Amino acid sequence: MIRFAKKSPREIDVAISEQNGVRSLHLGGSEIQSAMRINAPNELELLYTQYMMGFLLFQPAPSHILMIGLGGGSLAKFVYHQIPQTKTTVVEINQQVISAAFNHFALPEADERLQIILADGEQYLRDYSPTIDILMVDGFHDDCQSASLCSQEFYNQAYQVLNKNGMLVVNLLSQNKNLNTYLQRIKDSFQGRVVTILSGACGNLIVFAFKHSLGRLSWKILKARAKKLEEMYDLPFSDCVSRLRESTYSHHNYIEI
């Protein structure tokens, strides 16, 4: 296990472990924050990251994605290698995490399609002026979510930086005691246009929030989109649709967002 020394009060301990061909990133404890299969560094190893890419069911060709929280860079790498028409900006508060992603998790060097910024995600979003297609939020230390990324003000600002067809994608912990509070805040900011996917019985809860209503969208159309996306990206989009239906309007032939 490789450890990086703590450099300031704002930076937490970063550790790396390897087991069965998988390299994992830990932030401030034993919980796995990011993972990479060493012989497949650009694939999404963790199920919750695969589900976060479920936004493609609704926004298949984003031009700009803003990510808050880098981890090992799994999502940033996937977008960089698989969706070359998309520009990705990643904001990460911890320099040690950025260094680990570059040195141990095959994060590509920054270029015109990938920008890595060392900054506080909440502050960065507050000062952000352009609009974006997708905002992805995945900010943790050990098994705790960053409080500044769960406030009503933060979700209100998230709504503001998205373009008219934009989406917010948030990774939450389903066992967090404040989960219902966080979900209600997102619903309040996005006028109730929210759907969720549960990753396992006690796992991550992925939240999709929409800037504007998509109206009624049939499950048949979503299933067809899922099959097409699976051929393109080899991710479980059909499972995403099934889990969306389980958590929303399973008795209807459509989803209304």
Q: How many alpha carbons lie under 13 Å from residue 129 in its C-beta half-sphere?
A: 0
SS3 193: coil
Q: Catalytic site residue 138?
A: yes
Map residue 179 onto helix, strand or coil: helix
Measuring CA to CA, how many Å separate 144 from each of 15, 30, 49, 171?
Answer: 16, 12, 17, 12
d(CA 161, CA 163) in angstroms, rounded, equals 7
Length of the chain measured in residues: 257
Q: Which of 127, 138, 188, 239 is catalytic?
A: 138
Q: What is the three-class DSSP state of 20?
A: coil
Quote the tokens at residue 247.
């958590």
Annotated catalytic sites, by residue? 138
